[in-house]
Amino acid sequence: MQSNAGKLAIVGVAIAAATILFIVLSGDDSDNSSSAPVGSVERDTETGESPDRGEGIEQADEATEEASSEIPVIVVKGGQPAGGVQELSFTAGQQIAFEVDSDVAEEVHVHGYDVIAEVEPGKPAMFSFQADIEGVFEVELEGSALQIAELTVNPE
Amino acid sequence: MIAARATRAAAATCLAAAVAAALYPPPASAHALVGKQDLPIPPWLFAWGAALVLVVSFVALTLAWRRARFEDENRRPAPGWVSRPVVNRATELLAGGIGVLLLGVVVWSGLSGTEAPDRNFSLTFVFVTFWLGLVAVSVLFGDVFRAFNPWRAIARGFAGLFRLVARQDPPRPLPYPQRLGRWPAVGGLLAFLWLELIYGDSGQVTAGLTPRTLAIAVLIYTAFTFVAMALYGIDTWIERGETFSVYFGMFATMAPVEVRDGRLGVRRVLSAATRWAVLPGSAALVLVAIGGTTYDGAQEGVLGGVISGVFGRLLDAGVNPTFALRATNTVFMALTLAFVAAIFWLGVRGMRSVGGTDMSLNRLGRAFVHGFIPIALAYLVAHYFSLAVFQEQAQFTYLLTDPLGDGSNIFGIAKDPIDYGLIGANAVWYVQVAALVIGHVTALVLAHDKAIAIYDDPRIAARSQYWMLGLMVGFTSLGLFLLSQANQ
């Protein structure tokens, strides 16, 4: 039906189109992501009680533009994360920093990064480490095997 | 939307955990096997992948060839000096021995090793090295599992021993019911997927699949396999009923290498797939393979909110949490499988409506279902590639040297933890999208080739392929969509 040259031309055009599209689309994204706020805690407002902490989080949200001076706090009450599993989001290369405040003594384990810290009532666990692995990770209370937060590290 | 879903998920999780805490002492070490999960592919990559699928499909339509190319396998036996060192009595015994040894290590580590899933040899070996690794090996090198199959090796050993002691052949096996075809393997695949994805789901209310339970499951399957082999004959059961042989064998049909009559040979790549689906149950096997991965992807993303919503409601109704979780997941897995099967059969029905063949719906489906093996493979790569890269590091370091997780160091190799930085998110995304697009192209090629072989009229063949094209675009887009919604 078509000559071999014709077929080759079609394949060539298709490859060129795919390549151009790839460059255009991937270029778009890097602009978007660099302007996106980073290091923010997406907190659920409906069930997010514990008013004292809630305000702190709001501030953290607003303060994200000036490179998080307020670090996110995960509150554990009676062995449960207040307001459900918290979402922490960072960009690769950043410093990951958050705090776990618990009313029970526990061990907090950040999977993947394998960072472990002890927490006790009145003695919050402070986390600070380089975001050098991209992906989605569980933050867990080791003793009760309960997930308290989901740490997301997006590529730059 | 996301916030609302997160709310429901969070509420359900809290509630579940509270109830669970009241009812059960929580397991001491319910680690998930995976320390890291993939990020969803970004919207631009999703858009590009989808566009590429359309471009590729359009190009495939215009380039359509007129003579079937994959029906003829064009087999060439390898010369003796190549074949003999690979396929001989000694390598057969060695491979069988390794298979039996590994089966033994799985059971031993499962029964007497640590209950921490990520520190025990058995779970990573069965679900990653064996289940995923052998798919990759089969696609590249053919039906390698046949040589390593521990059940086949043991059964053949017994048959040989019987001949030696009783000085007569073992009793003739029963005739295998032809209508059963590959259905026993489909049942086995469903059971395996259920064990992995539903029983093994270590949520807040269940410890998931412990190494001990896995070892017991392996022993039950082993006993079942020996009974079936004794009834129907070793080779018949390997070909039709033994789940892993049939499953890996399905992917092995894509390979350009095979062993036939004790001799190594090469064949046209993909050509064996065109003849694979002749037995009843073959279509179901491919569809369950696709559906299982679809469910696993969906439950972590798209369906996650709905599942935890239903689960929460069952908890409110006072249902036992473990039962509620498993029942909910089972129902959604069944729905996912039904959805995948429905799309497929809808497409086949459409293809039949263009006429040109007097095949029944069932036969027409079976004639084209091999085209979906590459899609099943693409789904596996897209979903499990990064898991395999990370877990295999554990497999060949600390899980190998310390299979029981008791601190031993049998081989004296360093017990490094997994390097999760080995591949970044971008690399994972590109592999995922590439797998889906390549799977799509391969599927189109196989379907088009089959259409030429089946239909006398090339115009009807072309028209039938609009339906197949629609199906494949559908499955590939679904795969992309699942990736874009992963772990959110």
User: How many alpha carbons lie under 13 Å from residue B90 in its C-beta half-sphere?
Assistant: 3
Write the pLDDT tens digit of every residue in B174-229. 999 999 999 999 999 999 999 999 998 866 666 688 999 999 999 999 999 999 99
Instruction: Provide the 8-state DSSP code for B397.
Output: T
Cross-chain Cβ contact A25/B10 below 8 Å = no
- Measured CA to CA in angstroms, residue B396 lies from B108, B115, B457 at distances of 18, 20, 54
Check pLDDT > 80 for residue B29.
no
Nearest to A112 among B28, B29, B35 (CB): B35
The pLDDT, as a whole number, for residue B54 is 86
**Alpha carbon distance B43, B488 (integer Å):** 13
Chain B residues in contact with A134 by the CB 8 A cut-off are 39, 424-426
Chain B residues in contact with A45 by the CB 8 A cut-off are 3
The pLDDT, as a whole number, for residue B304 is 87
Check pLDDT > 50 for residue B230.
yes
**Average pLDDT of the residues in A84-106:** 92
**Average pLDDT of the residues in B2-26:** 42
The pLDDT, as a whole number, for residue B362 is 93
Cross-chain Cβ contact B10/A92 below 8 Å = no
Calculate how close chain A gets to B425, using CA atoms only, in Å. Answer: 6
B203-207, B331-335, B436-440: segment of lowest average pLDDT? B203-207
**Average pLDDT of the residues in A34-62:** 41
The pLDDT, as a whole number, for residue A23 is 86
Check pLDDT > 60 for residue B259.
yes
**Alpha carbon distance B478, B450 (integer Å):** 24
pTM of the model: 0.86
Nearest to B39 among A11, A135, A138 (CB): A135
Interface test with A, best of B44, B58, B385, B430 (most A CBs within 10 A): B44
**DSSP strands (E only) in chain A:** 41-42, 73-77, 80-81, 86-91, 95-102, 106-110, 115-119, 125-130, 135-141, 146-154
Instruction: Provide the 8-state DSSP code for B137.
Output: H
Check pLDDT > 50 for residue B233.
yes
Cross-chain Cβ contact A135/B6 below 8 Å = no
Interface test with A, best of B48, B65, B202, B416 (most A CBs within 10 A): B48
Per-range mean pLDDT, top range of A67-81, A89-103, B218-232: B218-232
The pLDDT, as a whole number, for residue A156 is 84
Q: Provide the 10 A C-beta neighbour count for residue A7.
A: 15
Check pLDDT > 90 for residue A59.
no
The count of CB pairs under 8 A between chains A and B is 121
**Alpha carbon distance A86, A94 (integer Å):** 19
Write the pLDDT tens digit of every residue in A116-132. 999 999 899 999 999 99
Chain A residues in contact with B10 by the CB 8 A cut-off are 44, 47, 83-85
User: Where are the alpha helices (H) located in B113-233, listed in sequence order?
Assistant: 121-124, 133-141, 145-148, 150-166, 183-193, 211-232
User: B223: helix, coil or strand?
Assistant: helix
- Report the sign of the C-alpha dihedral through residues B230, B233, B239, B241, in that order: negative
Chain A residues in contact with B49 by the CB 8 A cut-off are none
Check pLDDT > 90 for residue B2.
no
* Terminal alpha carbon distance of chain B: 11
Cross-chain Cβ contact B9/A154 below 8 Å = no
Nearest to B32 among A22, A45, A138 (CB): A138
Q: Which residue of chain B has the CA closest to A7?
A: B63
Chain A residues in contact with B17 by the CB 8 A cut-off are 80, 146
Chain B residues in contact with A152 by the CB 8 A cut-off are 39
The pLDDT, as a whole number, for residue B458 is 85
Check pLDDT > 70 for residue B300.
yes
What are the phi and psi torsion angles at B292 (to 5°)? Answer: -60, -45
Nearest to A155 among B18, B31, B424 (CB): B424
The pLDDT, as a whole number, for residue A2 is 55
- Bigger pLDDT: B275 vs A44: B275
pLDDT, averaged across chain B: 89
Calculate how close chain B gets to A112, using CA atoms only, in Å. Answer: 5
Cross-chain Cβ contact B62/A10 below 8 Å = yes
**Alpha carbon distance B250, B73 (integer Å):** 16
**Alpha carbon distance B283, B277 (integer Å):** 7
Q: Which residue of chain B has the CA closest to A91?
A: B425
- Measured CA to CA in angstroms, residue B166 lies from B151, B152, B238 at distances of 22, 21, 25
Cross-chain Cβ contact B26/A145 below 8 Å = yes
Report yes or no: B283 and B369 within 8 Å, Cβ to Cβ: yes
- Bigger pLDDT: B139 vs A3: B139
Cross-chain Cβ contact A135/B62 below 8 Å = no
What are the phi and psi torsion angles at B226 (to 5°)? Answer: -65, -40
CA angle, corner B333, sides to B109 and B360, nearest 5?
115
Nearest to A84 among B14, B27, B42 (CB): B14
- Work out the pLDDT band at B239, boundaries 50, 70, 90: very high
Cross-chain Cβ contact A146/B59 below 8 Å = no
Cross-chain Cβ contact B424/A14 below 8 Å = no
Instruction: List, in sequence order, every residue forming a beta bridge with A123; answer none if it has no partner.
Output: A120
Q: Which residue of chain A has the CA closest to B1?
A: A44
Nearest to A14 among B18, B21, B55 (CB): B55
**Average pLDDT of the residues in B256-268:** 93
Write the pLDDT tens digit of every residue in B342-400. 999 999 999 999 988 889 999 999 999 999 999 999 999 999 999 999 999 999 988 99
pLDDT, averaged across chain A: 76
Cross-chain Cβ contact A112/B42 below 8 Å = no
Check pLDDT > 90 for residue B113.
yes
The pLDDT, as a whole number, for residue A63 is 40
DSSP B146-178: HHH-HHHHHHHHHHHHHHHHHSSPPPPPPPP-G
- Return all residues near B266 (Cβ < 8 A) that are at least 6 apart: B75, B76, B78, B256, B257, B258
Chain A residues in contact with B63 by the CB 8 A cut-off are 2, 7, 10-11
Cross-chain Cβ contact B36/A145 below 8 Å = no
- Measured CA to CA in angstroms, residue A100 lies from A8, A60, A126, B254 at distances of 60, 15, 7, 51
